[in-house]
């Protein structure tokens, strides 16, 4: 599915960017700008940013529609 018509970015591109960024640095703070940079693109109109943010979070959490493998994330300690 195309999620950015200005740059022809697909949902699979977002999943692969999230996976690559997590592989490079498991503790990286993901942002839509980082996803664009990973894909070698720049936002134009910006209307896709909410959808890319939503997909980025879903893929990072390994949601049901996620097709990319994700490394284990450190557990959050309870206080």
> In the chain, helix, strand, coil percent, each to 5?
45, 5, 50
Q: What are phi and psi of 10, to 5 degrees?
A: -100, 165
Alpha carbons within 13 A on the beta-carbon side of 15: 16
Of the candidates 15, 21, 35, 48, which one interacts with ligand FES according to CB under 6 A?
A: 48
Tell me, residue by residue from 2 to 41, as one string, x for binding to ligand FES by CB under 6 A and - for no binding. --xxxx----------------------------------
Closer of 5 and 23 to ligand FES (Cβ): 5
Among the listed residues 10, 12, 28, 46, the single contact to ligand FES using CB under 6 A: 46
């Amino acid at each position: 599915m195309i999620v950015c018509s200005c740059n022809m970015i697909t949902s699979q591109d977002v999943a692969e960017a999230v996976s690559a960024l997590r592989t490079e640095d498991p503790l990286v703070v993901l942002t839509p700008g980082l996803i664009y940079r990973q894909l070698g693109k720049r936002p134009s109109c910006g209307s896709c940013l909410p959808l890319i943010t939503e997909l980025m979070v879903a893929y990072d959490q390994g949601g049901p529609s996620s097709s990319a493998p994700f490394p284990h994330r450190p557990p959050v300690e309870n206080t």
